[in-house]
Each structure stands twice: as structure tokens, then as C-alpha cells.
Amino acid sequence: MDTARPRPVTVGVFDSGVGGLSVLRALHRAMPSVRLVYLADSGYAPYGERDAAYVIERSELITSFLVGQGAALVVIACNTATAAAARHLRERHPGVPFVGVEPGVKPALAMSRNKRIGVLATTGTLRSEKFQRLIAPYREHAQLHLQPCPGLAQAIEAGDTAAHDVRALAQRYCEPLRQADVDTVVLGCTHYPFAMEALRAALGPEVILVDTAEPVARHARRLLEEREGPDVFGCEPAETVAYTTGDVAVLRRIVDAWLDFPVQVRAAPASLTGPSPAQP
């Protein structure tokens, strides 16, 4: 009798860097028996200050790698990549379900008392057509204060969320929101939850911060169960592997500091680290 355990289903996850680890953490909590393969594209970050063609090209390369790793579902754990590349990826990979992330404006509206809502995000996310479509229905119900945060994701990427640069940028970008008397702020980049302490200090304790990592994880779980069947979630914990196109030692240090479960950290394959035609 063959008593070998079936191999766990694989979910691929990617971000422009380490920010998507906030989504990876939520995915692991929601589906500990699912094998997670994460790709941090730190060597080609930041996406938020690149044009759409660049982001689409990197997203396609990474998705092909994750599908090659056996991913039955791919989570785009990056607001900028979701806005720029989600449609393209769904068209190129029609057999693969994709879960993107986008700023949680709708839940923020439900939480807000004064209907003055701030959105902290990258320049690329805020200027995208997808984001503008997202917020259009809410403009008549709330005052939306959109705050681009150039450099903040990159500062968080270094791994020290208590660093002076992170705190200074948080103060700079939160000050206009304080002046606008917002009572709820949407974190529109997956890097930003790791700077929660700096953002809370800059905004004040009375301001509600909205992160969408847990709803994204719940949605991914539902889609995976629909695709693979109710038996997809076993009892045994599965491995999590994180690849990076940047410095392996940096990712290992950040993973050890930010995550509370075992992660194998590896260098990304050469197919992801060569020169990019879309690079400026």
C-alpha cells in the first residue's frame, strides 16, 4: 500500500520587495498546510516609481517562475503590480487564478466617523487607472486625501523600520493627512504595515489604520478551495520558501525579524536576475 502523503498544493506570492511579507504572513496563518513560494524582486525595486511597462515585464517573468514552481494560484502582494499588471497576467495565464491587493477604501469608509479618509500609497498606485476606477464610487461619500509616499517603501526595504529615514518619511507624508483631519488612513502599499509603529506615531493614536492583508488571505483560501476541492487543506504544516533578486542575507535577516514561522531563504534563479529590457 502506498502510504506516501500527497504533496501540498503550492501558492505563489510576489512583491517588488519585502513588503509582501505582510501578505505572506496572513496567507500562512490562513493556510498553514499550503506550500508558499515567495519572490521578493528587491533587485529591481521600487515598482512604485517605475512605468507600467517595467512593472508588467517583471511581473510576467516572476509569474512564469512561480507557475514553474507548481503554483496553483498566484497572489500579487504588491499594490503597484496589481494596478499595472493584474489584467495582463490574467490574460497570459488563463488557467491560473490571481489574487491582487488594492487599497481598502471601502472598509475605510465603513470605519470612518468624519468621512475624511487618507490613502498612503506609491506614486504608481495612485496614478494608475485601476486605482482611479476603484475610488470613483466613493468620492461623493467621503473626502479622500491621496498621499504619494516616494521613498518610503524603499526605506522600509532596508529592514530597520525604526530607522531615522523611515520615521522621517512617515512624519513627512502623514503631516498633510493630519492637517486634513482624517480619522482613517488606508495603507496602500504592502510595505507599510511593517512601519505601523512609525505611522501611528506620526498620525496619532486616534486615527484608524486599514490594512488588507487578512482579507486578501481569506479570498485566496476561498479561491483555492473552489479550484482544488475541500480536501486541499491538510493538517500538516507545509514549507515556505522565499526567493530574492536582491541580497539573500538582507532577506534572511528581515524574515527572521518580521515572521514567526520557518522560511527557507534562497537566491532567485538567473532567469530573474539578468538585465531587463524595460530597465531605464
Residues in binding site for substrate: 15-16, 47-48, 79-80, 190-191
DSSP string, the chain: ---PPPPPPEEEEEESSSTTHHHHHHHHHH-TTSEEEEEE-GGG--STTS-HHHHHHHHHHHHHHHHHTTEEEEEE--HHHHHHHHHHHHHH-TTS-EEE----HHHHHHH-SS-EEEEEE-HHHHHSHHHHHHHGGGTTTSEEEEEE-TTHHHHHHTS-TTSHHHHHHHHHHHHHHHHTT-SEEEE-STTGGGGHHHHHHHH-TTSEEE--HHHHHHHHHHHHHHHH-GGG--SS---EEEEESS-HHHHHHHHHHH-SS--EEEEPPGGGTS--TT--
Single out the catalytic residue among 149, 174, 189, 235: 189
Is residue 174 annotated as a catalytic residue, yes or no? no
Binding residues: 15-16, 47-48, 79-80, 190-191
Is residue 78 annotated as a catalytic residue, yes or no? yes
Single out the catalytic residue among 78, 149, 174, 235: 78
Enumerate the active-site residues. 78, 189
